Chains A and B, each alone.
Chain A
Amino acid sequence: MRELSCGRTAKWAWGLAIAALAVSGFGQMPIFKRYYIADVPGLGWTADFYFTHKLHYAAGAVLLFVAFCALARYLKGRQAGRTSRRLTPMGWARVLVLAGLVATGAVRVIKNLPGHHFGRELTMAIDWAHLALALAFLILILVARIMRRPYARGA
C-alpha cells in the first residue's frame, strides 16, 4: 500500500488528518457539550464551534495535500512501470466516498466565502450529503479493519 501513500510522515499526517476531521466534523453538531465530552479536562475546545470549524478546514488541507501527493506518486509509478497495484472494490469504495466528501466539502467551503450562498434546498442537500458520506467513510474504515479487507492488491 505504500505506493499509494507519500512516505512515512505523510502516512502519519493522513491518519491525524482523518482523526481531526472526524472529531471536528462531529464537533460541528452540538453534542460534545451536551454529552459532557467538553467537560473532560483538556477537551473544552470540542465545544468551541469556531475552533472546531477552523480545525476542520486545516485538517482538510492536510488531507488534500497528502491525497494528491499520493496520487501523483501512484500515477508516476504506474507510468514508469514500477507498480502494478490495483485498488480492490473496498479501495474503490473508499476512494469514491472520499471524492464525494472532498467535493461536498469544497462546495461548503465555497458557500462560506463572502458573496456566495446556495439557497434552501442546495444548502440542505450539500450538508446532508457531506454528513452521510462522512459516516460512510468511517464505516468503510471499520469494515476494512474488522474484516481485514485490503484497499489494494498487486506487486
Chain B
Amino acid sequence: MNRRAFLKGAAAATGLAAAGPAAAVAAPDGPKPRRELATLLDLSRCIGCGACVEACREANDHKKPEPKKPFPAMIPKRVKVEDWSERRDVDDRLTPYNWLYVQDFEVEHDGETVELHMPRRCMHCVNPPCANLCPWGAAYKEDDGAVRINDEICLGGAKCRSVCPWDIPQRQTGVGLYLDLLPSMAGNGVMYKCDRCLGRTDKGELPACIEACPMDVQQIGPRDEIVRKAHELAESMNGYIYGETENGGTNTIYVSPVPFEKLAATFTPGPGRPGLGPVADAMADETTLAAALATAPLAGLAAGLLTVARGVARDLKDDGEGK
C-alpha cells in the first residue's frame, strides 16, 4: 500500500476523509477544488532528509527549462543572463531547477541547542503580489490557492521576483516567448517556482513533497482548517506560527517550537534564499486606493451636476468656449 492509499484508507477508517490530506485535493476525475487550500508544515517533525526535495524534482522534472544556446545578445549590456542549466543539481537554494530546498538551523532556545530543518518554497500568498503586479498576465492564482506562472507566456522580466516579499521566483534565460518577440530588447527568459504540483493536484493527487515525506511534516487542507490546526499545534508545543498573517496571509503555514525571529537571525536572506522576517501586506495600499477608484465616478457625477446647478454651464456657453 502506497502512502497515499494508506492515508486515504486511514482517513476513511476514522471517518475523517473529508478532512484528510488526500481528500483535500480534487477527486481524480472530479472538478478542481474551489476551496482555498493551504499547507501546514510542522517543523518539529522535519529531520531534513531531503525526500521532499527529491520528490519535487522528480515530479516536476518535465516542467524544467531546456534553454536554447547561445543566448541572444542582451540590449543594453547591463541586462545579465541568468543561466542555471549547467547547475541543475544545486539544491541549497531556489533555482529554476530547484523549487524546494531544506534550510537547516541550529539555535539556542530555552537553554538548549535546537536543530531544525525547514522546507522552503513559494508561500502561495492569499493575495499574491506577483500575480497582481505581473503586467503580462503570466502569474496567476488558482481556485485552490496555488499561485502559478504560465511558462508559455512569461517573458522573464523578473518583476514577480522584485515584488515578492520572499524573492521566490527564479529566472532561466534562453527559454520562452521572448525568444519569438524581441529577444535582445525585451524579456530575459521565464520565471520558475513551486506550482504546488500542477498536474498532480488537478488529478486528485497530493503535491509530491507532501506524499514523499516519511515524517508527515506537511499536510494540506482547506485554509480555515489548516489555520485552526496550526494554532492547535502551536499551542500543544508552545510553538510559533509563520505564514498565517505575513503579507496579508499565505497558504504555507509553518509551526516551529522556536520563535521565527531566532531562526531569521541566524542567516542573511539572499538570492534564492528567502527571509523569515515580518512581512506587511504588500497590497494593503492598493486595497485602500481601490475604494477611491470606486467612489471617483460618483464623486465626478456629483461635481458635474453641482457645477451645472451653480450656473457654470451657462457661463461657459456665454463666454464662447465651445467654439
Contact = CB atoms under 8 A, between A and B. Distances in A.
Interface string A104-125: 0010011111110111100111
B12 interface: no
B289 A68 contact: no
A149 interface: no
Interface string A76-114: 110010110100000000000000000000100111111
Nearest to A30: B157
Interface size class of B (residues with CB under 8 A): 35 or more
Contact of A120 (B140, B162, B186): B140
B289 A69 contact: no
Given A34-B79, A57-B293, A28 B135 contact: yes
B317 A83 contact: yes
A68 B322 CA distance: 19
Interface of A: 1-3, 6-7, 28-31, 34-36, 49-50, 53-54, 57-58, 60-62, 64-73, 76-77, 80, 82-83, 85, 106, 109-115, 117-120, 123-128, 131, 155
Contacts of A54: 285-286, 289
Interface pairs A-B: 6 shortest CB-CB: A72-B304, A68-B300, A127-B137, A124-B137, A2-B321, A64-B296
Given A7-B307, A64-B296, 8 more contacts: A3-B313, A29-B135, A30-B162, A34-B79, A64-B300, A72-B303, A82-B314, A114-B126
A76 B290 contact: no
Nearest to A77: B313
Interface in B126-145: 126-127, 131-143
Interface of B: 76, 78-79, 126-127, 131-143, 148, 150, 153, 157-159, 162-163, 186, 248, 282-283, 285-287, 289-290, 292-293, 296-305, 307-308, 312-314, 316-317, 321-323
Among A111, A113, A123, the most chain B Cβ lie within 10 Å of the Cβ of A123
B143 A119 contact: yes
A82 B148 CA distance: 55
A111 B293 CA distance: 14
Chain A interface, >50% SS class: helix
A62 B297 CA distance: 9
B301 A71 contact: yes
Nearest to A72: B304
A6 B289 CA distance: 23
Contacts of A35: 76
